[in-house]
Amino acid sequence: MYSQSTIKGVVTDAEKGTVIPFVEVYNKTIEKLVSTNENGVYEFTGLGAGSYELIFFSYEYNTVQRSVSVSSDEVLTLDLALSPLSVELTEVVLSQKRKELFALKRLKDIEETAIYAGKKNEVVLVGEQMGNLAVNSPRQLYSQVVGLNIYEGDDGGLQLNIGGRGLDPNRSANFNTRQNGYDISADVLGYPESYYTPPAEALNEIQIIRGAASLQYGTQFGGLVNFKLKEPVADKKIEWVSRQTLGSNSLFTSFNSLSGTVGKFSYYTYFNYKEGDGYQDNSEFNARNFFANLNYQFSEQTSLSLDYTYFNYLAHQAGGLTDVMFLEDPSQSNRERNWFAVDWNLLALKLKHQFSEQTMFTLNLFGLDASRESVGFRTNRVSQPDEPGTVRDLISGDFVNWGAELRMLHKYTLKDKENALLLGAKYYQSDNTAIQGPGSSGNGPDFEFYTEEFPNYPNQSDYKFPNLNLAFFGENIFRLSDKFTLTPGFRFEFIDTKAEGFYKNINLDNAGNVIQNETVYEDENLERSFVLFGLGVSYKPLNSMELYGNFSQNYRSVTFNDIRIANPSFKVDPDISDEKGFTADLGARGQLGGKVSYDANVFGLMYNDRIGEVLVAEDNRVVRSRGNIGKAFMYGLEGFIDWNIYKTFFNGDLQYKWSVFVNSAFTNSEYIESDIPGVEGNKVEFVPNVNLKTGTSFGYKNFLASVQYTYLSDQYTDASNAPIDVNDNVRGIEGQIPAYHVMDLALSYSFSRFRIETGINNLTDNNYFTRRATGYPGPGIIPSAPRTYYATLQFKF
């Protein structure tokens, strides 16, 4: 049984004697954070007898740490007077205070109803990242996340394409992508691609949890990416933030947010508009994004929140290039009639209730009503011109799904140590459609089907994909000592995927006459259930150091995009099946004297029945085939270090800052088994041996600056390890992605209620690419942006 000891008190201003509301009080011993109320009062209840470390944090005051001890059933009063900072709150001071707060709040062993003990986790503090936030510049935004491989071919930051450790970056499909803890992808099972990415200007944190975290959030090999949007300001009824950005290629973005708290009600809402011409011909875009978060605090124990997200964009797509075209002029395009449109509606309701200091309950209800549509000329002969007035290929997908995730976390004592048990369940149901057929012969973004006008169009299909998923999961933190924890976990999955519809086999002779017209009806139903296991280990020999390790089984279901979308750039093996494997990490992380932060680890990822693409000979021609390639193994060393140089050598004036970071991943890979000739022993695609990001940031008072350098060695794009052919002027689909390096510069200056941000991306104006697309937005090479400029003006009221 727990005793019911309490630590409470009032926090005041040491000079004025007035109470200070909204002071963060962190109990480091039990990893719990509370805030003082409007009367300056804080309280920790339900404590066991023992010693506790308390840290009092506020931006305007010096941080104070106190050690206290309580006996059984004691109520201890600890009042504290904080001294105001002796320096002006400039951007440099605020930046250093934010990092100080983050050091306290960094993902703890237990967060609400989630367990992170022993897991590989990284948190991007978006407010601390310098770069072009208006277009979600991923190279800058994720610069301190190790091992990420990023597709850079989206000028407006409309979609996020990240992978890592050999996982395909396409629309981040190998991660479970969430916003404020709920799913945001098209279909977690059948089509886990993320067409929606929240604007960086609205984000507080990006949490990336790998390894055993898959047991809590799904079965994915990549783990979790969770976008945590900004929370309502607690000390104002209304706060308005407006950010206007202009940039190269007619870029214009406008971001406006309102936030506040009135009694028990709080809110955060924004509207974001983007438009631009793109850096290639035929690549203009416009987008609108609206978000509203409404919260009501019924009591200290119970709260309810509602999120609504609307995202809509239309993009002209330049298409891909051959190697010859790319070398001639990366900005060219021979596709004038390719268009892409997305319409996304997300709704989420979250109930939180704390039954006691030991037991917390959360329930997330979420739903999606969305669509994606693409129309264009998609031949795999990239150099072939698109003739006006001819039929275009149209793919239309509707995604309607909903789900509920329930979690309960209970803390209990075992041999005088606090342990924690997490149990959860998730129900997920989707009813999606995918239709492919003839589009209009016009030039504009017409997403209507023209089946009567083009009845003999060969790529025609119409499918429904009703999917059902029921999962149960659990983890338990066993504290074997004050320093050592063991966290086993499990996940049970029941998956029922269906495909109901038809596709047409229409073959024409050279004169365009129909020689075959067959309609094939399908009604497939695949049920499977399985259990995944994982284990996390954490050892903290020092308060500033942790050794961690984890192992987790993984699983990826075959998606309907793998099976029933006709693509002229590749064919699909009809026997394609689900992927299975595991992920393991072993590492160390911590701080050295408050001056150096580090995280280094070795990892291994085993991929059975890995789905990929390989070149095969068929009917006297070479065909790119998509299917289960074989067993692949990826392994490597990842490391991150952030060194506060100014604090190390000039520990004095808080108005200065200077730090350096190095983020590196050295990865090797191999297909260790394959039934496909010529694959065994090959390198795995999307695995650069060297992935390096390094940079420095410095500042004085309200001026901040950063310089970043990125380097990736060459990587293969298919399991055949096809080499690059600089003389290819037909396809551009096969071949390596050559090594590339990029440099970025960012500057900012704040004054009064204003902030100016500016910078240059790809400072040296390198020509490079990160992707050879086999479908949209290609096929072919998708060039990355040349040197671009941007300038942002922010106003806060």
The domains located in the chain, with CATH, are 5-86 (2.60.40.1120), 229-796 (2.40.170.20)
Q: Are 569 and 733 in contact (CB under 8 A)?
A: yes
Q: Are 325 and 13 in contact (CB under 8 A)?
A: no
User: Per-residue pLDDT tens for 290-341?
Assistant: 999 999 999 989 999 999 999 999 999 999 999 999 999 999 999 999 999 9
CA–CA gap between residue 626 and residue 577 (Å, rounded): 11
For 130-142, what is the mean pLDDT?
Answer: 94
Residues 6+ apart with CB under 8 A from 139: 131, 150, 152, 693, 708, 710, 742, 744, 761
Reading the block at residue 506, the tokens are: 């229409």
637: helix, coil or strand? strand
CA–CA gap between residue 659 and residue 662 (Å, rounded): 10
Q: Are 759 and 704 in contact (CB under 8 A)?
A: no
Q: What is the pLDDT of residue 81?
A: 95
Q: Are 72 and 5 in contact (CB under 8 A)?
A: yes
Asked if pLDDT for residue 619 goes beyond 70, the answer is no
Tokens 């209009």: give the residue. 440
Q: What is the pLDDT of residue 689?
A: 97
Place 573 in a pLDDT band, splitting at 50, 70 and 90. Answer: confident
CA–CA gap between residue 158 and residue 372 (Å, rounded): 13
Q: What is the pTM of this model?
A: 0.94
Tokens 């989630």: give the residue. 114
Which position has the higher pLDDT, 516 or 569?
516
Reading the block at residue 722, the tokens are: 């096809």
Place 566 in a pLDDT band, splitting at 50, 70 and 90. Answer: low
CA–CA gap between residue 407 and residue 546 (Å, rounded): 27
For 206-218, what is the mean pLDDT?
Answer: 78
Which position has the higher pLDDT, 246 or 593?
246
Q: Are 206 and 225 in contact (CB under 8 A)?
A: yes
Q: Per the omega criterion (within 30 degrees of 0), is the bond before 779 cis?
A: yes
CA–CA gap between residue 131 and residue 201 (Å, rounded): 11
Nearest one of 691, 690, 674 to 682, comparing CA atoms: 674
Residues 6+ apart with CB under 8 A from 738: 714, 724, 768
User: Per-residue pLDDT tens for 14-43?
Assistant: 999 999 999 999 998 888 889 999 899 999
Q: What is the pLDDT of residue 620?
A: 64
Place 570 in a pLDDT band, splitting at 50, 70 and 90. Answer: low
Reading the block at residue 107, the tokens are: 């993902």
Mean pLDDT of the residues in the chain: 91
User: Per-residue pLDDT tens for 748-762?
Assistant: 999 999 999 999 999
% the chain with pLDDT above 90 = 71
Residue 109: CA count within 13 A, CB half-sphere = 30
Instruction: Please give the single-letter amino acid code of residue 558.
Output: V
Q: Are 601 and 572 in contact (CB under 8 A)?
A: no
CA–CA gap between residue 449 and residue 25 (Å, rounded): 60
Nearest one of 353, 341, 466 to 402, comparing CA atoms: 466
Q: Are 558 and 578 in contact (CB under 8 A)?
A: yes
For 459-479, what is the mean pLDDT?
Answer: 93
CA–CA gap between residue 561 and residue 540 (Å, rounded): 45
Q: Are 76 and 51 in contact (CB under 8 A)?
A: no
Place 1 in a pLDDT band, splitting at 50, 70 and 90. Answer: very low
User: Per-residue pLDDT tens for 499-534?
Assistant: 899 988 888 777 778 888 889 898 888 899 999 999
Tell me the range of 59-73, 91-105, 199-213 where mean pLDDT is highest. 59-73
Which position has the higher pLDDT, 239 or 45?
239
- Partners of 519 in the beta sheet? 504
CA–CA gap between residue 723 and residue 771 (Å, rounded): 14
% the chain with pLDDT above 70 = 96
- What DSSP character marks residue 366? E
Nearest one of 4, 6, 29 to 482, comparing CA atoms: 29
Q: Are 539 and 484 in contact (CB under 8 A)?
A: yes
Instruction: Quote the radius of gyration of the chain (alpha carbons, Å).
Output: 27
Q: What is the pLDDT of residue 46?
A: 83
For 737-741, what is the mean pLDDT?
Answer: 97
Q: What is the pLDDT of residue 191?
A: 87
Asked if pLDDT for residue 212 goes beyond 60, the answer is no
User: Per-residue pLDDT tens for 393-441?
Assistant: 999 999 999 999 999 999 998 888 889 999 999 999 999 999 999 999 9
For 82-90, what is the mean pLDDT?
Answer: 90
CA–CA gap between residue 354 and residue 332 (Å, rounded): 58
Place 544 in a pLDDT band, splitting at 50, 70 and 90. Answer: confident
Residues 6+ apart with CB under 8 A from 36: 10, 11, 19, 20, 21, 22, 23, 25, 42
For 252-264, what is the mean pLDDT?
Answer: 97
Instruction: Please give the single-letter amino acid code of residue 77.
Output: T
Residue 771: CA count within 13 A, CB half-sphere = 26
Q: What is the pLDDT of residue 417?
A: 85
Q: What is the pLDDT of residue 443?
A: 95
